Amino acid sequence: MRKIIDWLEHRTGLESAIKNFLYEDIPASSGWHQIIGSAAVFFFVIQVFTGGLLAFNYAATPGDSYNSVRYIMTELTGGKLIRGLHHWGASMMLIIVVLHMTQVFLYGAYKKPREATWMVGVVLLLVVMVFGLTGYLLPWDNRAYWGTVVTTQITGSAPVLGPYLTRLLGSENGVSRVTFSRFYALHTILLPPLVMILIGIHIFLVRKHGVAPAVGDNAPRRKFFPEQVFKDTVGVAIAFIILFTLAVVAEVPLGRLADPTDTAYIPRPEWYFLFLFQTLKFFKGPLEVVGAVVLPGVAVLTLLLIPFIDRGPMVRLGKRTFAFAAAFLAALAWTGLTTAAVMTTPPNPEENGLAAPSESATALQPWQNLSPEELQGLALFRKGNCKACHPGGGKQGIGPDLTKMPAEHRNAAWLVPHFKNPATIVPGSSMPPVQLKDSELTALSAFVLKLTPDNEGAIMAAPDYVVQGALVYQSNHCDTCHQINGVGKKLGPPLDGVGDRHDRAWLEQHFNDPQAVSKGTIMPPYKFAAEDMDALCKYLLQLPKG
């Protein structure tokens, strides 16, 4: 082992670097109050790690991104925990960074020669907030979409730079695929290495100038290892336990699929931006730029220049009355504005979590007009990865654009034989035969015939729970008694808008024991597996009125 270590030391200097890091001299006054900086670095590592795990299963396009997040939370092993760690980790990281800066401010540790250290810390705080803004859009639910609409509008109101920033964010025509792509690139490609560089510079400056000692600390200096390392480790462990508990206990919100037509939705940013959200309410019309740009700009500039504003010598913590008063007033203002925003903003009609949407709470989506058979066809389309050859959306693929088929091919009589033996119908076709039952081929053709250039993207974005629920409906031949979107028999009542008449508890009881809730019904009981019951109920509850 010694030979290996010597080899590494000779080639890389790794052993010397670790020893220099661990055995750095620190003031005797260092202690538990200085574990916050280490915790901030740890939480950044957590964010990178969990973000990477999410990226393995995340589809970076609008619509598909929503479905992939739902898949992560409902299907992926440990997916709910991973997203919980990433979501709550972002909030905790911001809290810890703010606490660290508050501590430095109260102690006056930004004074000469540590001005640059403080300024890099302020830039890090801003970048962490940008992380939150860019990541907010990525689930592509209503909450994310409308929150980003407000963000881009505020950015666009900046004097002189507004139009350029709007173009840079790809939001000239509202929040779109371009906006999504640029936010995703910022969040996953540009900001992480930027934060790594800034953290590296910050740590280098802390090491260069040393940890600021308490005023009057004349005791002999001590080593960073082992006492301070132990305290940092304990602090980080406690912080991680809190984060893990939040990830397990607190539900991460995921609303309905983003709906640009749902103008009734009340946008609300993440909790740490609510103070700014409330501040904007005090400035109307031409003065809006004051609350959106001027005041935040002055606040950031003041933070950056604090070391040059307060140039006096360091004094004992108990004598920094002005610093404590400023920090108290800032905390009071933030708390008051945030509380006011929470109390005065009415709740949105949609529920958080994974509840199925009701028709009354959102505009009708194109996939809500599909029959169960057509949704079954969508499931087969996805399962067969047909999009690999038929990407649609105007993109060039191996196969033709299914939304632009010739009129003579837009019928089941041509499509079903084509699926069975493509080369016979289209000589020279490289498409392999589709190995499905006749009823499944009919469902696949019904779905393909629904596609148009205008609705393809929206139909392809149908949530997994809708598709799975329709499969349960089809496999149990519910259409022999009921109608959905005009398809099926009329032996039982139509199921369009059933969510406006009954809740989930009623539906589950009706499936398990129909006679208990509908006396005299001829419907037999259905003992569905838990996942089938969940999918079917969610599907039925989102059905719009006929």
Residue 99's pLDDT is 95
CB 337 within 8 A of CB 512: no
Task: Enumerate domains of the chain plus CATH numbers.
Answer: 26-269 (1.20.810.10), 360-541 (no CATH)
Q: What is the DSSP string of 313-378?
A: PP--GGG-HHHHHHHHHHHHHHHHHHHHHHHHSPPPSS-STTPPPPGGGSPPPGGGGS-HHHHHHH
- The long-range contacts involving 84-88, CB below 8 angstroms and separated by at least 24 positions, are 84/246, 84/247, 84/248, 84/250, 84/252, 85/46, 85/50, 85/243, 85/244, 85/247, 86/47, 86/50, 86/51, 86/54, 87/247, 87/252, 88/243, 88/246, 88/247, 88/250, 88/252
Distance CA 512, CA 536 (A): 13
CA geometry: angle 328, 333, 337, nearest 5 deg? 150
Distance CA 140, CA 152 (A): 15
Tokens of 206: 């802390």
CB 240 within 8 A of CB 39: no
Tokens of 505: 């508890």
Alpha carbon 1 to its chain's center: 45
Query: Within 10 A of 279 (CB to CB), how many other CB atoms are there?
Result: 18
Alpha carbon 541 to its chain's center: 25
CB 197 within 8 A of CB 133: no
Of 473, 467, 469, 377, the residue nearest 67 (C-alpha): 467
Of 157, 155, 90, 182, the residue nearest 129 (C-alpha): 90
CB 267 within 8 A of CB 146: yes
Query: Within 10 A of 261 (CB to CB), how many other CB atoms are there?
Result: 10
Distance CA 254, CA 144 (A): 9
Tokens of 380: 């087969």
Which of 489-510 are b and which e, b meaning 16 or more Cβ less than 10 Å from the residue's Cβ? eeebebbbebbeeeebeebeeb
Residue 405's pLDDT is 82
Residue 349's pLDDT is 56
Tokens of 147: 């929150």
Residue 123's pLDDT is 97
Of 24, 37, 175, the residue nearest 100 (C-alpha): 37
The Cα-based distances of 80 to 54, 106, 184, 413 in angstroms read: 10, 39, 21, 44
Query: Within 10 A of 255 (CB to CB), how many other CB atoms are there?
Result: 25
Dihedrals φ, ψ of 223, to 5°? -90, 150
Q: What is the DSSP string of 382-441?
A: HHTTGGGT---TT---SSPPGGG--GGG-SHHHHHHHHH-HHHHSTT--PPPP---HHHH
pLDDT digit string, tens, across residues 180-216: 999 999 999 999 999 999 999 999 999 899 888 888 7
CB 144 within 8 A of CB 258: yes
- pLDDT digits (tens), the chain, 546 positions: 999 999 999 999 999 989 888 888 888 888 888 899 999 999 999 999 999 999 999 999 887 898 899 899 988 999 999 999 999 999 999 999 999 999 999 999 999 999 999 999 999 999 999 999 999 999 998 889 988 988 888 888 888 888 999 999 998 878 888 999 999 999 999 999 999 999 999 999 998 998 888 887 778 888 888 999 999 999 999 999 999 999 999 989 888 888 776 666 778 888 888 888 889 888 887 888 888 889 999 999 999 999 999 988 888 888 999 999 999 999 999 999 999 988 887 766 554 444 444 433 345 778 888 999 999 999 999 888 888 888 877 777 788 888 888 887 888 898 999 899 988 888 878 889 999 999 999 999 999 999 888 888 888 888 888 899 999 999 999 999 999 988 888 888 889 888 878 888 888 888 998 888 887 788 899 989 988 998 899 899 888 876
Residue carrying structure tokens 């350029």? 164
DSSP H or E run through 25: strand 25-26
Query: Within 10 A of 220 (CB to CB), how many other CB atoms are there?
Result: 7
Supply the Cα-derived Rg of the chain in whole angstroms: 29
The Cα-based distances of 78 to 53, 71, 354, 531 in angstroms read: 10, 11, 16, 17
Tokens of 353: 């979590």
CA geometry: angle 166, 169, 174, nearest 5 deg? 65
Distance CA 352, CA 137 (A): 16
